[in-house]
Amino acid sequence: MANDLVMPAGPAGAALYASMSPSAAKWLLPDGSIVSMLPTLGGAGVLGAEKRPIFYTATCETVPAVVQKNLTDLPEGYEPVAGDIIMVRFTGGTNTAAACVFTIAGDETVYPILFNGLATNTTAGAWKLNGVFPFYFDGESFNQLCYAKETDSNTTYTGFFIQNLASMKLTVNPNRAIDRYQLVLERADGTFDKALTAAYSTSKTKAVNTVTDFKVDGLMWYYATTSALAINAVVTATTNYQQQSYQATNFITYALNGADQLTPYKWVYLVGIPQADPMVFRLDPTSATSWYTSAKPTVEDGKVYIRLGYYSDGTIFSLFAEHPAYWFKNGLFRPYLTT
Q: Residues 222, 290: one domain?
A: yes
Task: Answer yes or no: do 213 and 298 share one domain.
Answer: yes
Same domain as 295, residue 327: yes
The total of structural domains in the chain comes to 3
Look at residue 316 and give its three-state secondary structure.
strand
Tens of pLDDT, residues 298-320: 999 999 999 998 888 766 788 88
How confident is the prediction for the chain on average, in pLDDT? 78
260 and 287 part of one domain: yes
Residue 158 falls within a domain, yes or no? no
Do 68 and 208 share a structural domain? no
Who's near 154: CB < 8 A, 6+ residues apart?
none
Same domain, 324 and 286: yes
pLDDT in tens, 60-96: 999 999 999 999 998 888 888 888 889 899 998 888 8
Residues 62, 33 within the same domain: no
**273 shares a domain with 215:** yes
**76 within domain boundaries:** yes
pLDDT at 72: 93
Cross-strand pairs, 26? 18, 36
Same domain, residue pair 261 and 123: no
What pLDDT does 325 receive? 94
Could you tell me the pTM of the whole model? 0.56
Domain-located, residue 3: no
CA distance 132 to 89: 4
The pLDDT > 90 percentage for the chain reads 31
Q: Indicate whether 190 and 322 sit together in one domain.
A: yes
Residues 203 and 288 in one domain: yes
| 33 against 39, higher pLDDT | 33
- Domain extent, residue 46, equals 15-51
- Of 115-119, 166-170, 322-326, give the lowest mean pLDDT range: 166-170
* Higher-confidence position of 66 and 55: 66
User: Is residue 206 domain-shared with residue 294, that is, in the same domain?
Assistant: yes
Q: Which of 49-58, 166-175, 195-204 shows the highest mean pLDDT?
A: 195-204
